[in-house]
Amino acid sequence: MKASARLEIGDTICELPMIEGTEHERGIDISALRSTTGCITVDEGYANTGSCISRITFIDGEKGILRYRGIDIEELAEKSHFIETAYLIIYGHLPNQAELARFSELLTQNQCLHELMKYHFEGFPATAHPMAMLSSMINASSCFYPGLMGRRNAARFDVQAARLISQVRTIAAFSYRKSRGLPIIYPKRSYNYTTNFLHMMFSEPYEDYQPEPEAVRALDLIFLLHADHEQNCSTSTVRMVASSQANLFACAAAGVCALWGPLHGGANQAVIEMLEEIHRAGDDGSAFIAAAKDKTSGKRLMGFGHRVYKSYDPRARIIRRACDELLARRHVSDPLLDIAKRLEEAALHDPYFMEHKLYPNVDFYSGIIMRTLGMPVDMFPVIFAIGRTPGWIANVKEIMDDPKARIYRPRQIYMGPPKSPYVPLEQRQ
């Protein structure tokens, strides 16, 4: 017999079916609640709400487990690369050689922007944040592909997905070049995805950037570790937009906007700004930790805490190790890394952080790697967005492939004024 939950509202008893996931996580299906009882549930911030049933990514926040399509993130970080992992996330299985070759070829064929897109870049001021440019340009890009509109077509989806993954990277690099007044560098056919990004960022018309394998590997790892993270703020936004059957590029542009904020993907930029502030102040970290615990200070320890992880974020552990390796191979040190490690050490032994179960998240160390690679700080959330694109696409695909998919439309409890008359202008106080 299937398990159910019983809910008593006054004299009414409502039987609610239970749903159990692959890893035994349990949910109560309330989809018939309003029609049978007239009530809705209220869960501001959605901390207790499962917005969908998904087959893409599994997280156990208590145990610090993250899996894409069933494969542990640690194993993917060690054995896979971003493009293979992107395929896994979107199509649900690791590609065989032919599938990977076809996917890579599609990415290469679709990496150049429409030439007219160059003029759109001209309109941005030099101070424009690259995340603003990225979301605008992803949306603008959709104007050049009328085929984007009829989405329920598998062959067309493959091309549009590859186009989006490829062009997000090209737009990101062009945005950086434009914001610095530098000439645009086009992608090269011979380079792989991540090398091409470094090439478009750092080559000059008179001199090619020489991609170092360790830089390519470190950046590729960052992309891979960000590739999906189930129903986070930006992915939920993407699913919300996708549920109205908006096109893939429109969904991704919305995802970039949601990702931008400092509580989400903008945290990697905020972490470096915080570490720089601590460094400038000559603080050993203790003053900042004290401020982060003081609710009146308006400060938080950026890169710490997570809605789902109540233990160490497995991505943070991998990135911290990668950070050490990259700096050691380059024989460089970064005072900000030393501060970050001191902050972590202090926070992990501090009763406030322990009681609140606050641990480093993916953003705590990723900025150190990006800085070491020469990325400017305002590009950090953009790099996050490049990495997250396959996850957004997979979530859109899941909605597209679901014949029962409905528009996302939550309800609310209205607490505004009761019915009131319209007061003519001359009678208003």
The residues that touch ligand ACO, with contacts defined as CB under 6 A, are: 45, 232, 263-265, 267, 292, 300-307, 356, 358, 361-363
- Active-site choice (81, 306, 313, 350): 306
Shortest Å distance, C-beta 293 to ligand ACO: 7
The distance of closest approach from Cβ of residue 355 to ligand ACO in the complex, given in angstroms and rounded to an integer, is 8
Q: What token pair was written down for 312?
A: 């160490």
The residue whose Cβ lies closest to ligand ACO is 305
Q: Which residues contact 195 (CB under 8 A, 6 or more apart)?
A: 211, 216
**306 included as an active-site residue:** yes
| C-alpha span between 46 and 121 (Å, rounded) | 37
**Axis-axis angle for helices 335-348, 267-281 (nearest 10):** 100
- 223 within 8 A of 387, measured Cβ to Cβ: yes
Q: What angle do CA 293, 295, 297 make, to 5 degrees?
A: 90
Measured between its terminal Cα atoms, the distance across the chain in Å is 65
Judged by CB, which is closer to ligand ACO: 111, or 269? 269
Nearer to ligand ACO (CB atom), residue 148 or residue 316: 316
Q: What are the backbone dihedrals phi and psi of residue 27, each rounded to the nearest 5 degrees, phi first?
A: -135, 155
Shortest reach from residue 313's CB to ligand ACO, in Å:
8
Give the residue with the Cβ less far from ligand ACO, 120 or 388. Answer: 388
Closer residue to ligand ACO in complex, CB, 54/232: 232
CA torsion sign for 344, 346, 349, 351 is negative
**Residue 3 burial (CB < 10 Å; 0-12/13-18/19+)?**
exposed
**The token pair that represents 81 in the structure block:** 């690369």
> Measured from the CB atom, is 45 or 417 closer to ligand ACO?
45
- Residue 81: active-site member: no
Q: Any idea which residues carry the catalytic annotation?
A: 306, 363
